[in-house]
Amino acid sequence: MRPETLEILRCPYCGGRLELVEDMANVLEAGAILEGILGCHCCLFPVVGGIPVLHLQPSAVTAREAIEAGESDRAFRALVSSDEGKADRFMEVASNRDATFRELAETLGEELEGGYFLYRFSDPSFVTASAVVRAVGGTALRGGGRAIDLCGGSGHLTRVLLEISEPAPVVADLYFAKLWLAARYVAPGCEPICCDGNAPLPFARGSFGFALCADAFMYIWTKRQMVGEMERLVAGDPSGAVVITHAHNQHVWSASHGNPLPPEGYRALFESVEPRLFAESKLLDDVVAGGPLDLSRRDDAAALAEQEAVTIVAARNADAWRAHPLATREPIPGELRLNPLYALEELEMGVRMRLAFPSEDYEDEYGACRRYLPEELTLDGDTVAAVRDGVRTPQVRELLRKRIVLDLPERYY
């Protein structure tokens, strides 16, 4: 972590400032705090692998004791997984600088969504959320300001926030291993903070211009507190905005339901900014059509009631409520790859691609990706070579727009 990040951190329990406890083990590398102990009025919290761990679950207590004893490997292992075999395997693979995100994620198996992360960059909720983030976050942060990705996991949308957030975005999650993967692979340069979304958030009032919670809000039990906290994080910013994407609808069954509210229940959580709720399928329609993303629309209660999921936008800057062109900025550069949802058949000149879902569950949940991923297609040799060499020809750009080709973080799989 960068020492200046301490300016925005607060203890989730006493609200006090956090400071590096100088008489305890502190390891600094290139000006960043790699390991150490942070103290407030009430608690001591460890920094492990550059990540402040600002909760008091048993793994965090074990990690703090290990850092105090100068045993950083033991602290890291305790936080990676409660399964010692998995934690050892993760550490072993992580020690190889050439290891891929996929190899590391696979050591944790089901704990890391059983492989769905591999397809995250083309799933419909990500495709919709990234367009909303660029539109609303881009408007909120036009004059500068920081973004936060709450329950951000391994940082897929944090990567999008890197395009618009200055200083670099924060990604917050309870799961330490995901945050470590976010910082090392998916969103390099982001600031990861390990904390509990069911507790007060460990940040000072008004530290951010844009607060996001994507695909996770229905798993938060303390929803009222979470929204109150998101409003607090962007307090005082006349352009501040809060976005919650893919909030499941209590009235419509979905594959990974969580504890959702009805649309009117989500609306009632907001106390300081009037939110607008959008039918998520209509936002996806806009993206599939190539834009614009029309946030001037007002979806009525009947349209929202039949949606599997809604997107909630609370923005103080009225400029958010317009039709936004898609992708006005160049994305963070990565490596071009053919979408792994396709089975490939090498041809004499090119490759035949056939859509092959990893499981029936995946197809149930994300089958809407058929809206932009054709069942079958053939790429000629020149196009395959352009993708392999990372050359963005007009044809490659069109394949990127349709998510047939993906722009992935380096060493992703």
Residues that bind Zn ion (CB under 5 A): 11, 13-14, 16, 40, 42-43
| Shortest Å distance, C-beta 11 to Zn ion | 3
Query: How far is residue 260's CA from residue 387's CA, in Å, rounded to a whole number?
Result: 41
Q: Which is nearer to Zn ion, 53 or 177 (CB)?
A: 53
Q: Which is nearer to Zn ion, 11 or 177 (CB)?
A: 11
Q: Give me the residue label for tokens 């380096």.
A: 410
| Shortest Å distance, C-beta 223 to Zn ion | 24
Q: Which is nearer to Zn ion, 39 or 292 (CB)?
A: 39
Q: Which is nearer to Zn ion, 11 or 379 (CB)?
A: 11
| Shortest Å distance, C-beta 98 to Zn ion | 40
Query: Helix or strand or coil: residue 23?
Result: coil
Query: How far is residue 221's CA from residue 125's CA, in Å, rounded to a whole number?
Result: 21
| Shortest Å distance, C-beta 41 to Zn ion | 5
Query: How far is residue 378's CA from residue 29's CA, in Å, rounded to a whole number?
Result: 49
| Shortest Å distance, C-beta 240 to Zn ion | 26
Q: Dihedral angle at the C-alpha atoms of 163, 165, 167, 173, nearest 10 degrees? A: -100
- Degrees (nearest 5) of the Cα angle 410, 411, 413? 120
Q: Provide the strand spans (E) within 204-286.
A: 210-214, 241-248, 276-279
Q: Give me the residue label for tokens 């330490």.
A: 176
Q: Give me the residue label for tokens 């993906």.
A: 406
- Residue 395 φ/ψ, nearest 5 degrees: -70, -40
| Shortest Å distance, C-beta 317 to Zn ion | 34
Query: How far is residue 50's CA from residue 191's CA, in Å, rounded to a whole number?
Result: 9
| Shortest Å distance, C-beta 14 to Zn ion | 3
Q: Which is nearer to Zn ion, 42 or 385 (CB)?
A: 42
Q: Which is nearer to Zn ion, 12 or 275 (CB)?
A: 12
- Residue 258 φ/ψ, nearest 5 degrees: 70, -150
| Shortest Å distance, C-beta 104 to Zn ion | 33
| Shortest Å distance, C-beta 9 to Zn ion | 11
DSSP letter for 192, please: E
Question: Which token pair is 283?
Answer: 């936002």
Query: How far is residue 365's CA from residue 361's CA, in Å, rounded to a whole number?
Result: 6
Q: Give me the residue label for tokens 């071009």.
A: 336
Q: Which is nearer to Zn ion, 43 or 293 (CB)?
A: 43
Q: Which is nearer to Zn ion, 12 or 192 (CB)?
A: 12
Q: Which is nearer to Zn ion, 42 or 347 (CB)?
A: 42
Q: Residue 284's Cα: distance from chain center in Å?
A: 18
Q: Residue 79's Cα: distance from chain center in Å?
A: 20
